[in-house]
Chain A
C-alpha cells in the first residue's frame, strides 16, 4: 500500500518515473487541473455534463466504479455482487450491496445504507428533473436491509444490474445534507449543490460557478495515507488548445482533461518536453449517418425526411456502400486525431467482448466504389463529373457541427466522393442548434434535413443494449413524436427490432455478445446505414511531474485521484 509501482499509462505510453516513496496525506502541495469547459455545479444529479460529473467525482463516490478495463470494482462496498457470491439473485431480479464498516463522510458522520436509499429516492422523486434518472430505470425499490446492507429490486429480470450507484454519474450523496432538497426543491439548494459532502479523497473548499473549484484533502478519507496532495483546483474555461498548452508548454497546470487537438499541434506541444498526452479508448465513435428518407426541400414540411418518402439516392445499399468504400479512414485519423483516435468500422467498437471483428472498411477502394455505382445504374452520362440516374444527379447535402477537425473531414470526404462521381454540398451548424433538438429549427440532428450528417456517439458504461435499441424503427424522429427520437437514419428493419427485444431478454453473456455483434453488423457492414469513421479516445494532457494517473475511459478520468502524487 505504501509503495507505488511503476506506472503504465495509456496504450504505449510509459512514464519513466521512478517509484516514489509515499509521503503520506497532504505532503505534495497543490494538484492543478484545467478543463476547457468550466464546471457548472458539483451535483451530478442536476447536470450530467462530463465537466460537472468529473469535478464532483473528486468528492462524491459511487458504491462501485469501472476500472481502466471497464470491469466493475468495489469502492464503498466490501465486494462486487455476483451470482457466485449471492449478491445477484439467481432470477436476476435483485442485487445486494454490502457497505464497508466504519466508513465516514467528510464531516465525520457515519455513512450508512440510509444514505444510499436516500440517494435513490432523491433522483427518482418526481419533478426533480434528475439528470441521471434513466440510470434508475427498471428499479422497483431500494431498501436498507440493515445499516450496512442495501438491496435493490428490479421490476423485471435485469441482465446488467450495474447501473444505479455504479460509476461516477450516480454517486452517493449525504442524506443529512440533502434531506430538504427533494423533488422540486432540488434546484434551490444552491449551497448543497455547490459543496456536497462526500466520502472521496477531497472536499470542496470553494466554488465559483463556471470558473473554479477548490478542494482540500478529506481528513476522514478511509486510507489515512491518501490523498498525497493537500489541495487541488480545477480551473475551467478557454479551449482545448489553451488547456493543452498550459500543461505541456507553460507548465502552469498538472492535468488537462479533453485536450482534443490536431496531430500537428500535438507534436508541437510535446516538443516542449514538459508532459505527455494520455488517451483512453471507450466507445465514442465519430461516424457518418446516412438519411434513408428524402430530405428534399421541395417536399412539404412534415413530409420532408419522413418514412413516407425514401431517399432517392441513398435507399440503394450499393450507393451507401460505395460512399463508405471511397473513404480513407486512416488518412482521416492521421489528419484529425493522430494518437487520439483509431480508424474504426463498428458502432460498438468496445468492450472487446461485444465488438464485431469487422475491419472491411479500413481499406479505401475508389475503383470498387465506382464499379458499384455503375452496377447500381449511376453513370456520368453528360460528362460533368457527376453521375446521374434517370436524369437525377448524384448530389448529396452533408452537414455537421462547427469544429475544425470536422470541417477538415468534410473537405476530405467531399474530395473522395468527387473522385467517384458524387457531388457534395457542405453545411456547418452551430453545435447548440444541432444537438439542441429544438423542433422549430430545421438544423437539428433529429430533423436531419440533409443526406449525410457527421457526429460522435457513445454508450454509457460497458453494456450496449440501450445504445443498440436506439436504432429501432419506432425511435425514428418524425412529426408525430415532435421530432424526438434517436434513430436519426430512419432505419427500419423488423429483424433488427426483433433482435433488440431478444437482447433485452437474454442473460447468457456469450449469447448477448453474439446478438450485439449481429446488430452492429446490420447497421454497419451489411446495411451501411451508419458509416463509422474513427474510434475517438479521450485525449488528456499530463505534466511530467504528476504520477499515479491511470487513464480510464469507462468512468471519471479522475477516478483514482486519491493515488495521484507529485514526482520528485
Chain B
C-alpha cells in the first residue's frame, strides 16, 4: 500500500504539470480581457497600455513558464521567509493578481479562513446528518421515515442554492430579523459574545450548504446500504446470532462506505474551493468569490493559481479515497 501511495504521488507530479498547462491554455483561450470591467469612457489606447503593463500581451508560453517559476520557486521562497525571517525571495516578483495587484497567495491566505469555516461547517453538518439518515432509510426501506427522507432530500437537491439562500435571507433576516443577512469577515472570535455572533452569522449559509450536500450524500449512502443489506453475508451475520446494530453498523455499513467515501473525497477539495453562489449571496467573500471574481475579470494569475491548488487537492483526495477503498475492502488490491 505504501509503495503504491508513493508511486501514485510521484506519478501525480507530471500529471499535475500537464493539468496546469491545459488549464492555463484554456483560461487564456477563453474570450474576455482583464480590462473588461473598467469604465467605457477610457479610450482603447489607454486600455492597451494597461494590458501591456500587466504583461498580458506576452506570448502564452512565456507567461506560463513565468507562472511555473513563480509558483514553484519564488512563492515557496517567500513562504519560508515568512516562517523563518530569511530573505530567500530576494525581492523577486511574486504571483500578482491582475485585478488588485496583490500577491495571489496573500489574497488566498486572507480568504481561506472564512471559506473553510463556512463551507467546512456546512459539509461536516451535511455528513453528520446524511449518513445516519441514509443508513436508517435503507434499514427501514419504504417506511414513512424513508419516504419523508427521500422527499426532503430530493427537494433539497432539486432546489438550487441561489433560491434557498435568498429565501432564507428573506424569511430569517428580513422578516424575522433573527440572523444577519451577510457575513462579517472582520469579526474575530475573542469571547462568548463574539462567538455567538460568529455562530449567528454562519447559521444561514451553513444551512443552505448542509441541506444541499446532505441530500446528495444521504442518497448515495442509502442506495449503497440497500445493496449490502440484501447480501448473503448480512444474512450469515444474522444467522450467526449477531445483534442487529452490529450487523447493520459493523458489517453492512462498512461495506457500503465505498461510494460515500468517493463522494466525500470529491467534496473535500470544494471545502477549499468554496461555493460560488453561497459565498456571493451571503457576501462571505471567500475563495469561491475570489475565483468567480477573477474569472469574470479575466484575472489569469489568480484563476490559474486557485485552479491549480484545487487540482492538487483533487488528485490528493482521490488518492486518499483509493487508499481508503483498500482499507474498507481488503480484497481491493492495487498491484
Contacts and interface: CB of A to CB of B under 8 A. Distances in A.
Q: Do A and B bind each other?
A: yes
Interface of A: 34, 38, 40-41, 46-50, 127-131, 133-134, 184, 186-188, 190, 193-194, 206, 208-212, 214, 233, 235-239, 242, 245-246, 249-250, 252, 272, 430-433, 435-438, 440-441, 443-444, 455-460, 466-467, 470, 484-486
A484 B57 CA distance: 15
B181 A250 contact: yes
A127 B280 CA distance: 35
8 contacts: A38-B285, A41-B100, A129-B51, A130-B49, A134-B42, A208-B185, A212-B185, A433-B32
B221 interface: no
B47 interface: yes
Interface of B: 29, 31-33, 35-54, 93, 96-97, 99-103, 106-107, 110-111, 169, 173-174, 177, 180-182, 184-186, 280-285, 289-290, 293, 295-298
A127 to B, nearest CB: 6
Contacts of A458: 39-41
Given A184-B53, A188-B96, 17 more contacts: A40-B99, A49-B39, A129-B49, A130-B50, A187-B54, A188-B101, A208-B186, A233-B186, A236-B285, A242-B182, A242-B281, A432-B295, A433-B32, A436-B35, A437-B36, A458-B40, A484-B44
A432 B48 contact: no
For B102, B103, B180, B185, the residue with the greatest tally of chain A CB atoms inside 10 Å of its CB is B102
Contacts of B46: 131, 133-134
A211 B296 CA distance: 16
B53 A187 contact: yes
B38 A486 contact: no
Contacts of B181: 242, 245-246, 250, 252
Contacts of B106: 190, 209
Contacts of B182: 34, 235, 237-238, 242, 246, 252
B24 to A, nearest CB: 16
Contacts of A131: 38, 42, 46, 50
Nearest to A485: B44
Given A46-B101, A209-B107, A432 B297 contact: yes
A494 to B, nearest CB: 22
For A237, A239, A252, A459, the residue with the greatest tally of chain B CB atoms inside 10 Å of its CB is A237
A71 B198 CA distance: 47
Given A212-B186, A242-B181, A250-B177, A443 B31 contact: yes
B174 A436 contact: no
B37 A49 contact: yes
B96 A38 contact: no
Chain A at the B interface: SS class? loop
A34 B181 CA distance: 13
B43 A134 contact: yes
Contacts of A242: 169, 181-182, 281, 283
A137 B111 CA distance: 39
For B49, B101, B169, B298, the residue with the greatest tally of chain A CB atoms inside 10 Å of its CB is B101
Contacts of A250: 173-174, 177, 180-181
A233 B283 CA distance: 14
